[in-house]
Amino acid sequence: MTQKYDYIIVGAGSAGCVLANRLTENGQHKVLLLETGGSDKSIFIQMPTALSIPMNTDKYAWQFHTEPEPYLDNRKMHCPRGKVLGGSSSINGMVYVRGHAKDFDEWQQHGAQGWDYQSCLPYFKKAESWYLGENTYRGSEGPLGVNNGNEMENPLYRAFIEAGQQAGYAKTNDYNAAQQEGFGPMHMTIKNGRRCSASRAYLDPIKRRSNLTIITGAQAQKVLLQNKQAQGVEFKVNGKVQSALAKREVILSAGPIGSPHLLQLSGIGDKETLEKAGVEVQHHLPGVGQNLQDHLEFYFQYKCKQPITLNGKLGLISKGLIGARWILSKDGLGATNHFESCAFIRSKPGVEWPDIQYHFLPAAIRYDGKSAFDGHGFQVHVGHNKPKSRGAVTIASSDPDEAPKIQFNYLQHPEDIEGFRACVRLTREIIEQSAFDDYRDGEIQPGKDIQTDEQIDAFVRQAVESAYHPSCSCKMGEDDMAVVDSQTKVHGINSLRVVDSSIFPTIPNGNLNAPTIMVAEKAADHILGKTPLNNLNAPVVMESQWQQVQRRSEI
């Protein structure tokens, strides 16, 4: 017999776990949560320092790759997405960045009414348990634990912050509060030494609720539609196709790749695209899969004079000791993602708010852990974070098992290329400050010979990697290319919503887990018909002379 639920949520990722918690909270609604992956209890997921393993493990991640990217020398870029309880919050780098206040004001300007910064801030606070306690900007009673790892014990973290100040930039003690711009400590979603994924924060405490059903190993095939109304979901478990019906709503939280693909599999999308893929058109909605955005980054690497970097901890014995300490006490190097200082700066005068982000790492090693510098080194990950290039997620066929085509068109827009030139030149200037004199011992990458625009552009095309922040492929708004409205309802289809990072109108300046969780917290109130949380009218610190200056030590 086909089961009936009030709500069906597709995807137990950063958004889906939040919704499962909030929609079952009052005990009045029966909720089904579908997830293709399985348990997130692996030590490699729970131990923060092991972050590179789950992302590159087929069991825990969809190992998507893009089509050849024409502006990156036709490279096919890796685009992993979580396939496990917690979704990408169980495989990500655990960096907690909300984004700049202006990023959310920009959403409202793009037609997402009620999603400006002051409207979103109460939901950031609601989600969070900030280790230093509550204030105007930070929450202390939410499910999501946020801290600074090992409090920057390694001196290289503080050297990076000091170098930024010496280069003429401001310091910010909390980039998630009033002032994003500047250099300071970085925050991570870790609680009591363990990864604090959306699954751990929102799902683990409620798994025994009688009104919540969780089915893992369930791959959604399509949304069941009748007369442009979502009736339920067809899904496959152990090779058998099943269906469930929704009395109230179906909510897609399958992420920026999965949600547009599932809409297209269901016959919702651009008419010509669907017909070409052999899918019967149920509703022409041309924006589905369009507007795709992502962050790129590369590693600026230097040799280190002193043997204080993580490159000295990569042997089997050292790794074993780190792992043993973590298992016994949940502290030490195993209890951090190692990105403990950071910065947000503007690439040039005339840029109103930061568009470059830094993650500092006291090691010279690839993000996936596959290649490390032979010796001691350190690096800073840097990227131009407000790209103007746009791509698409496009259904390849009517077969749900066939991955969609993913094309970001990275660096298509000339301003994105200029942004990365600024990344190279500004970063060099920062690392050459005297704060690094006792540590810096020569540039590994890009290399001192990379100087001209042409040389930088060629290096960037070959060296940049995705920062794993795909988003915006089912954008929120009211224009012809919008997929959902400001209530997260799919345009033209009743009883169907999308709630995940795909509905961002534009990509924020920062990592995406925090704003995705915020979006789900806020959407839950929309779904339940609750009055939105009160705006806080919190002050935002901005550079008043942004049109004339690129940096100032005091903002």
Q: Which residues are catalytic?
A: 469
pLDDT tens for each residue of the chain, 555 residues long? 579 999 999 999 999 999 999 999 999 999 999 999 999 999 999 999 999 999 999 999 999 999 999 999 999 999 999 999 999 999 999 999 999 999 999 999 999 999 999 999 999 999 999 999 999 999 999 999 999 999 999 999 999 999 999 999 999 999 999 999 999 999 999 999 999 999 999 999 999 999 999 999 999 999 999 999 999 999 999 999 999 999 999 999 999 999 999 999 999 999 999 999 999 999 999 999 999 999 999 999 999 999 999 999 989 999 999 999 999 999 999 999 999 999 999 999 999 999 999 999 999 987 665 566 789 999 999 999 999 999 999 999 999 999 999 999 999 999 999 999 999 999 999 999 999 999 999 999 999 999 999 999 999 999 999 999 999 999 999 999 999 999 999 999 999 999 999 999 999 999 999 999 999 999 999 999 999 999 989 999 999 999 999 999 998
Structural domain including 233 reads: 3-68+78-528
Six-digit token pair at 10? 């597709």
Write phi, then psi, for 226 (nearest 5 degrees). -150, 120
Tokens 């040389």 belong to 455
Cβ atoms of 203 and 209 closer than 8 Å: no
Residue numbers belonging to the annotated binding site for FAD:
84, 92-95
Tokens 């929309």 belong to 526
Distances (CA, A) of 282 to 252, 273, 279, 326, 389: 17, 13, 9, 52, 30
Residue 545 covered by a domain: no
pLDDT in tens, 119-134: 999 999 999 999 999 9
- Cβ burial of 58 (10 Å; 0-12, 13-18, 19+) is exposed
Residue 546 covered by a domain: no
Residue 536 covered by a domain: no
State residue 536's pLDDT score.
Answer: 87
Six-digit token pair at 340? 């403990």
Tokens 């409207």 belong to 119
Residue 401 covered by a domain: yes
165 three-class SS = helix
Write phi, then psi, for 304 (nearest 5 degrees). -115, 130
pLDDT in tens, 332-362: 999 999 999 999 999 999 999 999 999 999 9
Domain tally, the chain: 1
User: Helix axis angle, 513-528 relative to 14-23, nearest 10°?
Assistant: 30
Residue 535 covered by a domain: no
**Sign of CA pseudo-dihedral 319, 323, 324, 329:** positive
Cβ atoms of 256 and 501 closer than 8 Å: yes
Nearest to 77 by CA among 391, 544, 474: 391
State residue 370's pLDDT score.
Answer: 59
Residues forming beta bridges with residue 525, ordered by sequence position: none
Residue 311 covered by a domain: yes
pLDDT in tens, 311-329: 999 899 999 999 999 999 9
Tell me the CATH number at 186: 3.50.50.60
Residue 547 covered by a domain: no
Residue 553 covered by a domain: no
Q: Which residues in 265-286 are b (16+ Cβ under 10 Å) and which e?
A: bbbbbbeebbeebebeebbebe
- Neighbouring residues of 530: CB distance < 8 A, sequence distance ≥ 6: none
State residue 202's pLDDT score.
Answer: 98
- Mean pLDDT score of the chain, rounded to an integer? 97
